[in-house]
Structure 1
Amino acid sequence: MGKTANSLLLTAAFSPAWGQGDLSVRWDKEVLPLVETYCYDCHGDGIKKGELAIDKFDNIAEMQANRDVWKRIQDHLKHQLMPPLDEDQPSAEERKKILDWIDAAVFPVDPKNPDPGRVTLRRLNRVEYQNTLRDLLGVSVNVMDLIPPDDSGYGFDNIGDVLTLSPAHLERYLEAARVALDKAVYPGQMPPPEAAFAGREMKGNGHRSEEGHYLFMAGEAKVSFKPQRAGTYRVTVTAGGTLGGDGPPKMEFHENGETICEWDVDARLEQPKEFTHEFKINDEKPVEMGVVFTNDFYQEDHPDPKKRDRNLMVNALKITGPLDGPPPEKPQSHKRIYGKREAGENDEAYALRVLNGFARKAFRRPSQEGETKRYLQLVALAKKQGEGVEEGIRLALEAMLVSPAFLFREEPQPEPDNSKKIHLIDEHSLATRLSYFFWSTMPDQKLMELASRGELRKNLDSEIDRMIGDDRSRQFISNFTGQWLRLRDMPSTRPAEKFFPKFTGKVRDSMRRETEMFFGHIIREGLPMESLLDADFTFLNETLANYYGIPDVKGDKFQKVTLKDSHRRGILGQGSFHLLTSYPLRTSPVLRGKYVLENLLDTAPPPPPPNVPQLEPPGHKGNQQSLREQLEKHREDPSCASCHALMDPIGFGLENFDAAGAWRDQENGKQIDTAGELMSGRKILGVDDLRKALVEDHRPEFYRSVATKMLTYALGRGLEWYDRPALDRIVSDTEKAGGNSRAMLRAVIDSVPFQYRRGDS
């Protein structure tokens, strides 16, 4: 097991500082006096500001029973949000003493016996379900619109606790399964090929709309068709019309300009009908198929208003065939599932063999005893209703695609109800965790074969390299960054066109692509994780390069570009960051500071108090105060000062970027002031200083933040206090590897929570 086994034997270096002595005595003698001095003015002696009274906890057991409260206390102390800035502050040593005691007493961990936690039985989310159908059935089908949106938890939509399954969900999953199977398998005789054309796609005179091709005078709607071979074909025209004169519209079907047949279109525009005819095609050359309106009529003064205008609407055209000769060969997707029936094999044996092979892939593990035989009842039901064995198998496949074994990521446990039972997950479960982590889909054949032989853990290095190098790893890039860095929110960003006329939808799409390619390159090349903050390169196309003012980038294709402008280095210089942290009319130093703290340093500030007034853009309705001046006025309120002291200096350092991601030196004719002082005491002047401060002073916090997000995404659960040793180990391994991003990924995979699990209580 290599590193995995070693992670169970973490050294004492990860133990809390308060590892010896009686914690209760230390509380009374060393910690409580500090708490009374700095906290009781608001949270003790009968005062419970913010509904918090620290003196109500009589012992450590009561504190541990209210860990959510103490986590909040711990975070406020750690981030210097409490005591308020207008109150006496503990020294750095005093603050550390309180925090170390809380860690040791309220959140005790035993690194030598780590708790891997457990993941709630997890349903496949929409993206995972669609990808899994694609890889299981061998066809691409869009089912995203059929399935209700997924809820999110801890910032991600693959969290087991929120992925519920309602009856409505189940109905939609069944419909999605049917749609996918309709494209993948063809029980019985293969139907003839079809070529379908929407009316709006047909060329010719008239008017085209979403409803179809409207011929308001004599004319033709036509398409080009390439037959597979000579033979008999069927044309189906869906059409309707308006009556005019003494009869309905007349519609002819033409092949290369010759009339093949004619119909009277006795259907109204709003209720079109299908008109069919069979005809011969003599060779394989492309032919022009036309639908011709031949009896136009218009009489403005006709006594019957309903008969004044005769028109034709061609909604759709479909060519089916050839209808004669041998049936078409079935597609590879069908052959892969049904296989070839062996000579003398009876229906039940054949069906069981097909279903066993399908179940092994669909359930992502070997089938259990008798598990697949249950589905033979559906095969028998289909045969009883006069269907063939292939139709029966198709019905069983539908049932498998909505079974718990497919919809949920099962992980067998020896004692699921014993919370003290910790076990190494089996290799099929490991294969599934890996594939949904990197690919958001089922394990492929290579992973399954290694798992079946019990050799996956022995080959983890090569398999991780293979999976990251596979095109499917784009799913990790897009889904992880889409939620961690909030890139999924990009389509909803709308800088006001009046104020930012150079910004376009194409620019916005390019900004998202830039960040995805940037992060993907860091992962694939194993670059230091802090490259996300300070890399001297990015990925641009001509559109985005021109918007940034970067010369010599040509074409729509994205390319790696070395940055001469230091302002654009790292994610803080990328337009996606600026758009996501701004309002349509103005920037937001608060949102930008909050984004950096929350997404890059895992230091989420508390929510603002209610009824906080919205700041106005400079110059709006006569207000000439800059955003900085308004925020500084706002910070005079002691209840707001601590949080804003944390966020605002970061946001001020980024004010040279406007709400649409363009660089500026002035706002409303005034030079922009980007100076600030971080909570650490470090003074900064603009984005370059801020970036240096993050890399030089906060590298461990950045590593820990990325590791926290990555492990949350990989596990499908929120992290708890008992996950601290695992995070410590991931950060330590990353630091030892010089920040290597691949080392962090490997440390996440080697971690106890990823490799082990325990039962529930």
Structure 2
Amino acid sequence: MSSLDFIRIDCSRSLSGAAQAVWFAANDQREIPESLQPGAKRNQTTGTIACTLFAILFACTYGPVSSAAEPSATPAVMPAKHATVFKQYCYDCHDSGAEEGGVNLEDISFDIARNIETAERWQKILNAINSGEMPPEDSEPISDKAKIDFLEDLSTRMVVARKLLSDTGGEITMRRLNRREYQNTIEALLGVRPDVSSLPDDQATAGFDTVGASLFFSSDQLENYLATAKATLQLALANPRTVKSRTVRIEPEEEYTPHYANALAALQDNIKRATAWKSQSEKPASEFGFLDEYAAKKSLENSKKWAPQLEQYLARPETKTGATLILTIKDGGYTKIKFPALGPENAGNYTIRLRAAAYPDADPRFQYVEFSSGFGSGRKHLGWRKVTGTLEEPELITFPIEHQPGEKMQIWVHQRSHQDRGDKNLWTIDQQNNGIGTPPGVWIDWAELVGSEPDPNGAATIAARKRILPGKPSDLSDERYAKKVLHDFAVRAFRGESPSDDYLNRLVQQYETNRAKGMTSTDAMIGPLSIILSSPSFLYMVESTGNDGSPELTDAELAVRLSYFLWSESPDQELMSVARSGQLSQPRVLFAQTERLLADPRADRFVRGFVHQWLQMERLDMFQFDGVQFPSFDNAVRANAREEIFATVHHMLAEKLPLGTLLKSDFLVVNDVMADYYGVPNVDGHEFRKVNLPADSRRGGLLGTAAVAAMGSDGLRSSPVERGAWVLRHLLNDPPPPAPPNVPQLSRLAGEVLSARELTKAHQEEPQCAQCHQKIDPIGFALESFDASGMWRDVETVMVGERKKKRAVEFEIDGSGRLPSGEQFANYQELRDAVAKHEDDFAMGLTEALIEYGLGRPYGFTDQDLANQILEYAKANDYELSVFIHALVQSKPFKTK
């Protein structure tokens, strides 16, 4: 029997009656009706696994997903005045008599949300007019005023209609664990963090990765889940090895100074031979060791460019006793400290120790050491440490490293690096200015890698292994022992639910088959255990209907929902103990447990998972920043700019601060990297902490962060449109309609040097664009006071020309405008003040997002009462951030299937 057969058994173990009929029909590989295929394409015949899972979704969804009753006066109704547009411009071709293209506009309902078919017809109308396809060129064009009014009304109402028609009516679809949750849950069960790179990413471009309707599943993915579970179990159940701790010490002057001396000698030899050839040009270059004349000339040019840096490097007295971290174009990029690779068998915790000093006249960016791992060109940045020691009094720097089981790891120490070719381009500019290259920032006397050290989680890892495979009692047969092991593990994996006897017996049969093949007891157990970890009862958060058919969650199910909401993993022992006592659903007990979960370090998963998706922070990684134009926005700033947002939210939760803190505050939560970037003095250390700001500071609040500014750019220029739309969407809860298709290209402006305001305002000349840009652009123009990397500027600088012919053109920044609600502002500071007054709107946006993330389904208009209740409670408590979470957890929808 295959592993997939076992999983089918698990799928069907709790189904009965009609549900089993659906189950067995699905396993017959028949085509599933469209009504049973949430999110599936029409007329798509699925394989056994896909059919199976959709059947489970149908059978285990408690109550049909029904459309909520439409309100009597829906706002998704086009004003009747627009019938004149159809009559004047469209009926010649699209009335009941002509119906060109099968389109009859005489019978279309102006209630856009009447049904999907009606909404789709209106969408086609919107697309046709936006693109200029209709009216056709040989017909009378719609007047600009009529077109703008029509498109503005239709676009706005389409947004409302989409929300109405996509609403789930309050039903929560059973969903599978997303990749984050799967990884955390496996680690909690096995004590080993799995490699999930082959599993679906689940990061949604819009919405959240907790929404069940978007968490699809296929047979290919199931095979990946099986392979991942098996590989992780092999690591978790391997005989523990005692790795003796040792210290690997590197003396850079022994490892690297001879290397650079040889490199310099090679350059000097190139110069000598090329010069000799040049003086005897009648002889071919090949006689001097070059391929041809071009190679000789290029070698002479480059060697003269590269040699001075190495000459200076070797002339420094400190390189006789250590290494200076520099960027070298000639010899492999950065001067690095490279430790011996750690193999899969060397898992554990390590510490890097450095004795280091900073050059006082160096660029502050280079007074840091950067730690990374990886092989070849691929690098993972592990962290940064600022060096404050001097050459006279170096300091000892330590940096912890965690090496995961089953992985290979190469650890490097080098100077702070930029994206792509940024630092190499900067080196070229420095070399042109000083004849040498980028000056060094840090000197390292010696470096050590110590480990593996005693793992503080080692006891937990061993305990996890013993919980999976406890010692076999002498009075138990091998079969009974296997059954007990598999039963107990399945109960934990299935979050308290017991497997059926039939399912369990078949797992035991596979174990015995494996034993008959000569496998050890441990190896024979890996197959059945991996099946448990690939079964829907593990991969899906199953919520039963209960014995009485009650729609309310049981206390155990409530514990699961709460834990995955705040920890993205299964409940811990204390939470399940409270649930088993039947007290978790009591408001005071539930409040206390929610507070406990929020105070636990695992709540960081909620902050990262929710905030990253709520604020659409994936844009922070979408573009490479030009290292020459933005030399300070390197890997360290990009990574720590994201951490700044998370650290600020953590601080707000810990200190019970109001939500408005994110709109405007008199403090930052930063570390040394971000403090240096912002020019905030006296911040030492890599830990994030609260730093008070002067009253006139431009920072404080999301709008003043480097992360938000960078997300509103393309790595070269800031984008007023992106920034304005982001503020409307996330801070004012007034999202603009989606951009129309076939936005007219501004080709007529090609070659002109324009400011961002001039370039953006050109779109407003197009009627289909003006409706949105009039709302978005003023906000974006005020944010032009920050460049693409979030640094303050008084003028906008646009680089024009090619390479060496590039020149800077400056434009004055006009940050004046008004919000859609009417408030005027003259500059960025006044914009921030105006936005800060919209805390109610911001709170509503947060509430809608929190409901969607926490309940695992899109926010819909039937959630309005819940949102109002949460807001009322939160406002009475000064919009304290944690209060929103408590209000949702205490709500009836959170406790309902």
Same-fold call, TM > 0.5?
A: yes
Q: Is the 8 Å Cα contact of residues 659 and 839 (structure 2) preserved in structure 1? A: no
Q: Please give the alpha-carbon distance, in whole angstroms, between the structure 2 residues aligned to 1:457 and 1:541.
A: 40
1:693 maps to 834
Q: Please give the alpha-carbon distance, in whole angstroms, between the structure 1 residues aligned to 2:249 and 2:196.
A: 25
Q: Please give the alpha-carbon distance, in whole angstroms, between the structure 2 residues aligned to 1:178 and 1:136.
A: 13
1:288 maps to none
Match of 1:132 among 163, 185, 194: 185
Match of 2:851 among 696, 704, 711: 711
2:561 pairs with 1:433: yes
Q: Deviations over 1:553-574 (max 9, x none)?
A: 2233322111224321210100
Q: Please give the alpha-carbon distance, in whole angstroms, between the structure 1 residues aligned to 2:873 and 2:121.
A: 29
What amino acid is aligned across from residue 565 of structure 2 in structure 1?
F
Q: Is the 8 Å Cα contact of residues 115 and 753 (structure 1) preserved in structure 2? A: no
2:579 maps to 451
| TM-score of the superposed pair, with normalisation by structure 1 | 0.68
Q: Deviations over 1:74-113 (max 9, x none)?
A: x99xxxxxx99935999xxxx9xx99xx99xx8999xxxx
Q: Is the 8 Å Cα contact of residues 537 and 560 (structure 1) preserved in structure 2? A: yes
1:603 maps to 735
1:395 maps to 527
- Quick one: structure 1 residues 732 and 84, their matched pair in 2 at CA, closer, same or farther if it must change by over 3 Å? farther
- Quick one: structure 1 residues 165 and 345, their matched pair in 2 at CA, closer, same or farther if it must change by over 3 Å? same
1:41 maps to 85
Shift of 1:628: 0.9
SS in 2 for 1:538: strand
What amino acid is aligned across from residue 399 of structure 1 in structure 2?
I
Q: Please give the alpha-carbon distance, in whole angstroms, between the structure 2 residues aligned to 1:541 and 1:746.
A: 30
- Quick one: structure 1 residues 334 and 615, their matched pair in 2 at CA, closer, same or farther if it must change by over 3 Å? farther
Shift of 1:393: 3.0
What amino acid is aligned across from residue 116 of structure 1 in structure 2?
G
Two-structure CA RMSD over aligned residues (Å) = 4.6
Between Structure 1 and Structure 2, the one with more helix by share is: 2
1:702 maps to 842
Match of 2:486 among 339, 342, 355: 355
Q: Please give the alpha-carbon distance, in whole angstroms, between the structure 2 residues aligned to 1:438 and 1:528.
A: 19
2:633 pairs with 1:503: yes
- Quick one: structure 1 residues 124 and 108, their matched pair in 2 at CA, closer, same or farther if it must change by over 3 Å? closer
Q: Is the 8 Å Cα contact of residues 124 and 409 (structure 1) preserved in structure 2? A: yes
What amino acid is aligned across from residue 705 of structure 1 in structure 2?
G
Q: Please give the alpha-carbon distance, in whole angstroms, between the structure 2 residues aligned to 1:155 and 1:84.
A: 37
Q: Is the 8 Å Cα contact of residues 117 and 753 (structure 1) preserved in structure 2? A: no
2:175 maps to 122
Q: Is the 8 Å Cα contact of residues 556 and 576 (structure 2) preserved in structure 1? A: yes
SS in 2 for 1:397: helix
Q: Is the 8 Å Cα contact of residues 153 and 162 (structure 1) preserved in structure 2? A: no
Shift of 1:511: 0.8
Matches within 5 A, 1:319-338: 331-338=462-469
- Quick one: structure 1 residues 442 and 671, their matched pair in 2 at CA, closer, same or farther if it must change by over 3 Å? same
Q: Please give the alpha-carbon distance, in whole angstroms, between the structure 1 residues aligned to 2:123 and 2:876.
A: 31
Shift of 1:728: 2.6
2:886 pairs with 1:746: yes
Q: Could you tell which deviates more after superposition, 648-657 or 533-542?
A: 533-542
2:493 pairs with 1:493: no
Q: Is the 8 Å Cα contact of residues 208 and 613 (structure 2) preserved in structure 1? A: yes
Shift of 1:447: 1.6
What amino acid is aligned across from residue 556 of structure 2 in structure 1?
H
Q: Is the 8 Å Cα contact of residues 602 and 704 (structure 1) preserved in structure 2? A: no
Shift of 1:494: 2.2
Shift of 1:635: 0.9
1:661 maps to 790
Q: Is the 8 Å Cα contact of residues 495 and 560 (structure 2) preserved in structure 1? A: yes
SS in 2 for 1:539: strand
- Quick one: structure 1 residues 679 and 89, their matched pair in 2 at CA, closer, same or farther if it must change by over 3 Å? farther
Q: Please give the alpha-carbon distance, in whole angstroms, between the structure 1 residues aligned to 2:869 and 2:87.
A: 35
Q: Please give the alpha-carbon distance, in whole angstroms, between the structure 2 residues aligned to 1:485 and 1:51.
A: 42
- Quick one: structure 1 residues 223 and 358, their matched pair in 2 at CA, closer, same or farther if it must change by over 3 Å? same
Q: Is the 8 Å Cα contact of residues 116 and 756 (structure 1) preserved in structure 2? A: no
Match of 1:407 among 539, 561, 573: 539
2:237 pairs with 1:185: yes
- Quick one: structure 1 residues 431 and 201, their matched pair in 2 at CA, closer, same or farther if it must change by over 3 Å? farther
- Quick one: structure 1 residues 422 and 559, their matched pair in 2 at CA, closer, same or farther if it must change by over 3 Å? same
Q: Deviations over 1:421-469 (max 9, x none)?
A: 8711222222121111111111111121122222211211011111111
2:777 maps to 648
What amino acid is aligned across from residue 742 of structure 1 in structure 2?
S
What amino acid is aligned across from residue 443 of structure 1 in structure 2?
P
| TM-score of the superposed pair, with normalisation by structure 2 | 0.58
Matches within 5 A, 1:147-296: 147-150=199-202, 152=204, 154-186=206-238, 190=239, 193=242
Q: Please give the alpha-carbon distance, in whole angstroms, between the structure 2 residues aligned to 1:195 and 1:89.
A: 74
- Quick one: structure 1 residues 200 and 68, their matched pair in 2 at CA, closer, same or farther if it must change by over 3 Å? farther
Q: Please give the alpha-carbon distance, in whole angstroms, between the structure 1 residues aligned to 2:341 and 2:766.
A: 72
Shift of 1:656: 0.4
Shift of 1:55: 6.2
SS in 2 for 1:527: coil
Shift of 1:206: 9.2
- Quick one: structure 1 residues 176 and 53, their matched pair in 2 at CA, closer, same or farther if it must change by over 3 Å? same
- Quick one: structure 1 residues 330 and 739, their matched pair in 2 at CA, closer, same or farther if it must change by over 3 Å? closer
Q: Is the 8 Å Cα contact of residues 189 and 464 (structure 2) preserved in structure 1? A: no
Shift of 1:611: 4.3
- Quick one: structure 1 residues 42 and 196, their matched pair in 2 at CA, closer, same or farther if it must change by over 3 Å? farther
Q: Is the 8 Å Cα contact of residues 36 and 44 (structure 1) preserved in structure 2? A: no
Q: Is the 8 Å Cα contact of residues 645 and 678 (structure 1) preserved in structure 2? A: no
Q: Is the 8 Å Cα contact of residues 594 and 605 (structure 1) preserved in structure 2? A: no
Q: Please give the alpha-carbon distance, in whole angstroms, between the structure 2 residues aligned to 1:404 and 1:508.
A: 38
What amino acid is aligned across from residue 224 of structure 2 in structure 1?
R
What amino acid is aligned across from residue 721 of structure 2 in structure 1?
V
1:474 maps to 604
Q: Please give the alpha-carbon distance, in whole angstroms, between the structure 2 residues aligned to 1:724 and 1:330.
A: 45
Q: Deviations over 1:225-248 (max 9, x none)?
A: 9xxxxxxxxxxxxxxxxxxxxxxx
Q: Please give the alpha-carbon distance, in whole angstroms, between the structure 2 residues aligned to 1:712 and 1:408.
A: 18
Q: Please give the alpha-carbon distance, in whole angstroms, between the structure 1 residues aligned to 2:622 and 2:116.
A: 42
Q: Please give the alpha-carbon distance, in whole angstroms, between the structure 2 residues aligned to 1:31 and 1:125.
A: 34
Shift of 1:719: 2.1
Q: Please give the alpha-carbon distance, in whole angstroms, between the structure 2 residues aligned to 1:732 and 1:738.
A: 10
Shift of 1:479: 1.4
2:88 pairs with 1:56: no
Matches within 5 A, 1:308-327: none
Q: Is the 8 Å Cα contact of residues 538 and 562 (structure 1) preserved in structure 2? A: yes
Q: Is the 8 Å Cα contact of residues 721 and 780 (structure 2) preserved in structure 1? A: yes
2:873 pairs with 1:733: yes
2:719 maps to 588
Which consecutive residues of structure 2, in runs of 5 or more, have no partner in the other structure?
1-67, 96-100, 128-141, 257-337, 343-459, 798-809
Shift of 1:493: 3.3
Q: Please give the alpha-carbon distance, in whole angstroms, between the structure 1 residues aligned to 2:104 and 2:659.
A: 41
What amino acid is aligned across from residue 599 of structure 1 in structure 2?
H
2:675 pairs with 1:545: yes
What amino acid is aligned across from residue 745 of structure 1 in structure 2?
I
Q: Deviations over 1:362-418 (max 9, x none)?
A: 1112214425343212222123223344443333212111111111211113699xx
What amino acid is aligned across from residue 787 of structure 2 in structure 1?
D
Q: Is the 8 Å Cα contact of residues 676 and 683 (structure 1) preserved in structure 2? A: yes
Q: Please give the alpha-carbon distance, in whole angstroms, between the structure 2 residues aligned to 1:681 and 1:43.
A: 34
What amino acid is aligned across from residue 558 of structure 2 in structure 1?
L
What amino acid is aligned across from residue 160 of structure 1 in structure 2?
G
Q: Please give the alpha-carbon distance, in whole angstroms, between the structure 1 residues aligned to 2:874 and 2:102.
A: 40
Q: Please give the alpha-carbon distance, in whole angstroms, between the structure 2 residues aligned to 1:753 and 1:614.
A: 49
Q: Please give the alpha-carbon distance, in whole angstroms, between the structure 1 residues aligned to 2:577 and 2:893.
A: 24
Shift of 1:193: 4.7
Which consecutive residues of structure 1, in runs of 5 or more, have no partner in the other structure?
1-14, 77-82, 208-220, 226-328
Q: Please give the alpha-carbon distance, in whole angstroms, between the structure 1 residues aligned to 2:112 and 2:578.
A: 46
Q: Please give the alpha-carbon distance, in whole angstroms, between the structure 2 residues aligned to 1:746 and 1:389.
A: 47
Q: Is the 8 Å Cα contact of residues 202 and 223 (structure 1) preserved in structure 2? A: no
